[in-house]
Structure 1
């Protein structure tokens, strides 16, 4: 019997459940990888499909042996493909070197030897010819864990019922992306962004200097679509750390545009000219505070959004919160 194609259930951004409801929720570490629905046909084969439905099996040949671990038992599993750094944490930048190799199996095989991936499994959707979608989360988790799926390139991390605040603090302490809260009585809703699953991303803040801006389009014509920001290096230079294009109200964006025009300069203030065609440069006098999730190995901010102008800080007082990129 062919396995059914199932779109992954999605989590809604939010906050921790109220303390009085804590025991009704399970908590899993939020992983920074590529979502994958895994199809084990029971004949030794394995297929992985991305959220888009694309077959991504060929990009990850090291996961091939997973097809035989359940013998003739057919199953559909939900999980996430990760690339781990030297500290064992998910590194999306590393994973990007593996994604997109579906049409290049030779390169995928070579990359598997130097940048191996790891598949974390957190749900079972179909098992032994029966759909499990209408079963509550806790029962599905029990059935998943009973499969004993642990191997060189895959694992089934545990979930914690209750103690949500402690779980969230632990992810922050270990530098992990965040937490997913799942209601223990929730059914699996394919393709739905459900309130029964809540994702909480650990966000960080940093002080940055604005060194330029990219023009907006459409209703933002004449206004900055994004500001180009940097941070001071120990040598006194200005290292580019990314572009920030969200977080303003219309009034704030208009006010910022006037400030940027007053600081216009023909010279790029960054140590290295950033890849921003059509950018307008400004003298780095304005200090801003931004929120971001993580940094790439090159020090760029991931998912940055604007918080506020730091009119209380001079450019000399802004913190140089730069990572060590010498490794």
Structure 2
């Protein structure tokens, strides 16, 4: 078998390697005195995809989990024509933009996993995806070992522009400006990438660092769901609501971040204010809910709202005894 050739399901061969995505570690932005060595990109709230083509005008998309996604996003097929004659492997993120031009993961979820041709064609009209391309790993030859800045220059030279894909710019050495720009643009956060970093497939590398924006919110606890295993009998998650003029609106469950001690304390507090019905004005899509009088206030952090009005990536921070009324 020739180098960089891989077997396909059709028992043929593709003139490019199968490459798993390089992953970023979670952490703060590099310190200001170190930022000259780093590039800063927007962190897109979407689905990671490896995009490859043998150069024959077709294109293939594979998710981070290794699932085939080509048929799911038919509006990306014309990208293959721009790469005709150039066997290529690219890295990117598939997003759906809302009316303000901001990524909305809730809208993207309506597209994910759909393979029926009629349905994908209809969804492509209603919720068109946009492919954000931010790296190249192969273009006629492997460039995995090339530094980030060289790969980005090569990516820009490919001239990839279309109605459903683009190659957004990055900035060098300006972490604070990138952070503030992402805040203004409603972007999920910033990814810092060392300018000299090679592309290491499948590795969560400290050479790439992602930093998300977090929003702090006080929520009303209107119930809880029981934990499993060692948490049996204790709250596994609380059911959070936001007070509105029409009543308490359910916005999601929060379990991440709770310590064992906090779970025991919550079990004691919630045990003295049970309620025989839901205190929320809207449906609660969980099973086994225990309702409680909406007296406890908690502070949480989260990364944004879904299109269904639910908290995205909520994390428990603390109970707010200064706002809580148990008497």
TM-score strictly above 0.5 = yes
Q: Which residue does the alignment assign to 2:220? A: 209
Q: What displacement does 1:233 show? A: 1.0
Partner of 1:15, secondary structure, is coil
Q: Which residue does the alignment assign to 1:30? A: 43
1:159 and 2:170 aligned: yes
Q: Which residue does the alignment assign to 2:179? A: 168
- Alpha-carbon distance in 1 for matches of 2:275, 2:123: 44
Q: Which residue does the alignment assign to 1:321? A: none
Q: Which residue does the alignment assign to 2:192? A: 181
- Alpha-carbon distance in 2 for matches of 1:64, 1:297: 27
Q: What displacement does 1:71 show? A: 2.3
1:287 and 2:300 aligned: no
- Alpha-carbon distance in 2 for matches of 1:298, 1:46: 32
Residues 299-327 of structure 1: CA distance to partner in whole angstroms, max 9, x if unpaired?
Answer: 21011011111111257xxxxxxxxxxxx
Q: Which residue does the alignment assign to 2:121? A: 109
Q: Which residue does the alignment assign to 2:11? A: none
- Alpha-carbon distance in 2 for matches of 1:150, 1:225: 47
Q: Which residue does the alignment assign to 1:318? A: none
Supply the RMSD in Å over aligned alpha carbons: 1.1
Q: Which residue does the alignment assign to 1:325? A: none
Report matched runs for 1:234-253 at 5 Å.
234-235=245-246, 237-253=247-263
Task: Give the one of 282, 298, 304 matched to 2:314.
Answer: 304
- Alpha-carbon distance in 1 for matches of 2:271, 2:176: 45
1:54 and 2:67 aligned: yes
- Alpha-carbon distance in 2 for matches of 1:223, 1:24: 48
Partner of 2:311, secondary structure, is coil
Task: Give the one of 67, 78, 98 matched to 2:80.
Answer: 67
Q: What displacement does 1:74 show? A: 1.1
Q: Which residue does the alignment assign to 1:18? A: 31
- Alpha-carbon distance in 1 for matches of 2:100, 2:47: 19
Indicate if the aligned counterparts of 2:106 and 2:308 stay in contact, CA closer than 8 A.
no
Alignment: residue pair count: 312
1:198 and 2:209 aligned: yes
Q: What displacement does 1:205 show? A: 1.0
Indicate if the aligned counterparts of 2:39 and 2:173 stay in contact, CA closer than 8 A.
yes
TM-score, normalising length from structure 2? 0.93
Show structure 2 runs of 5+ residues with no match.
6-13
Q: What displacement does 1:176 show? A: 1.2
- Alpha-carbon distance in 2 for matches of 1:63, 1:313: 50
Q: Which runs of 4+ in 1 moved over 6 A?
A: none
- Alpha-carbon distance in 2 for matches of 1:47, 1:198: 27
- Alpha-carbon distance in 1 for matches of 2:127, 2:97: 8
Partner of 2:220, secondary structure, is strand
Residues 178-220 of structure 1: CA distance to partner in whole angstroms, max 9, x if unpaired?
Answer: 0000000101110111111001111101110000000000011
Q: What displacement does 1:66 show? A: 0.5
Show structure 1 runs of 5+ residues with no match.
316-327
TM-score, normalising length from structure 1? 0.93
Residues 125-153 of structure 1: CA distance to partner in whole angstroms, max 9, x if unpaired?
Answer: 0011x111111100000000111111111
Q: What displacement does 1:14 show? A: 0.4
Indicate if the aligned counterparts of 2:53 and 2:87 stay in contact, CA closer than 8 A.
yes
